């Protein structure tokens, strides 16, 4: 499975793909905002998580401390460890299984965990939103939730509290969120994205009603 994903990524992630991803960050952010809106977490927070995790590159492969990826002398990826983090929100296989088996609605249940599915922008951001919402309910504040998102929810409270200090992943993301959530431009973008999404959902609903009426 891991060899397959490496081959697919080598074939798919071309300079053109990277250029397209860079030029379409607006559309990527819209997917993230909608995922946050659906699962009722702050869209601006999920945007900051994705910025920190992958800089909005939806085909990212985690390379934390250079331990999850094995590269050759030329820097090319030749192996990915079993629990590498993948996708725009950097979801690991263990976290993915936990979300699906314990947190996700029945409609998201799956039997086969295909790594390439984590490269699906919409799917990956929705998993992240579900997980962050649960972490917030579990720990009661976003700083602890972010620490657990980065380090794992199975860590002790003492360990996670140490991960909320200045300079930590948690504080870096939280501070940027606090600074950016008052941005007029960002808030306008988020509101417009949600408004458009809700309008599309209403149109779909009415079309379905009309189709059923015609029957």
Q: Is residue 7 part of a domain?
A: no
Q: How far apart are CA 153 and CA 118, in angstroms?
A: 20
Q: Does 136 score more than 90 pLDDT? A: yes
Q: What end-to-end distance do the CA atoms of the chain give, in Å?
A: 46
Q: Per-residue pLDDT averaged across 201-209, rounded?
A: 85
Which residue range(s) make up the domain with 106? 25-60+88-182
The model carries a pTM of 0.81
CATH of the domain at 142: 1.10.530.10
Looking at residue 7, what is its pLDDT?
43
- Note whether 36 and 157 are within 8 A (CB): no
**Alpha helical stretches, state H, 99-183:** 121-139, 142-151, 157-162, 169-180
Looking at residue 86, what is its pLDDT?
87
Q: Is residue 132 part of a domain?
A: yes
Model confidence at 63, pLDDT cuts 50, 70, 90, reads: low
Number of domain units in the chain: 1
3-state secondary structure of 91: strand
User: What confidence tens digit (pLDDT) does each residue in 78-102 have?
Assistant: 455 566 788 899 998 899 999 999 9
Model confidence at 35, pLDDT cuts 50, 70, 90, reads: very high
Looking at residue 110, what is its pLDDT?
87
Looking at residue 51, what is its pLDDT?
94
Q: Is residue 80 part of a domain?
A: no
Q: How far apart are CA 5 and CA 93, in angstroms?
A: 13
Model confidence at 52, pLDDT cuts 50, 70, 90, reads: very high
Q: Is residue 191 part of a domain?
A: no
Q: Is residue 214 part of a domain?
A: no
Cα separations (Å) of 14 from 9, 10, 21, 174? 9, 7, 11, 33
């Amino acid at each position: 499975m891991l060899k397959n994903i490496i081959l697919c990524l080598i074939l798919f992630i071309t300079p053109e793909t990277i250029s397209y991803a860079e030029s379409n960050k607006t559309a990527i952010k819209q997917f993230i905002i909608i995922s946050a809106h659906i699962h009722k977490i702050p869209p601006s927070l999920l945007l900051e998580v994705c910025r920190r995790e992958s800089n909005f590159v939806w085909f990212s492969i985690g390379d934390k401390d250079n331990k999850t990826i094995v590269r050759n002398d030329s820097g090319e990826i030749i192996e990915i460890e079993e629990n590498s983090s993948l996708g725009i929100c950097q979801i690991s296989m263990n976290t993915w299984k936990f979300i699906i088996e314990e947190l996700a609605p029945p409609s998201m249940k799956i039997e086969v965990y295909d790594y390439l599915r984590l490269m699906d922008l919409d799917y990956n951001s929705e998993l992240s939103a579900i997980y962050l919402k649960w972490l917030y309910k579990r720990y009661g504040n976003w700083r602890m939730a972010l620490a657990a998102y980065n380090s794992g929810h199975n860590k002790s409270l003492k360990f996670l509290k140490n991960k909320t200090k200045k300079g930590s992943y948690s504080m870096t993301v939280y501070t940027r969120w606090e600074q950016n959530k008052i941005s007029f431009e960002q808030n306008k973008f988020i509101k417009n994205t949600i408004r458009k999404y809700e309008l599309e959902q209403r149109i779909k609903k009415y079309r379905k009603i009309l189709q059923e009426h015609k029957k």
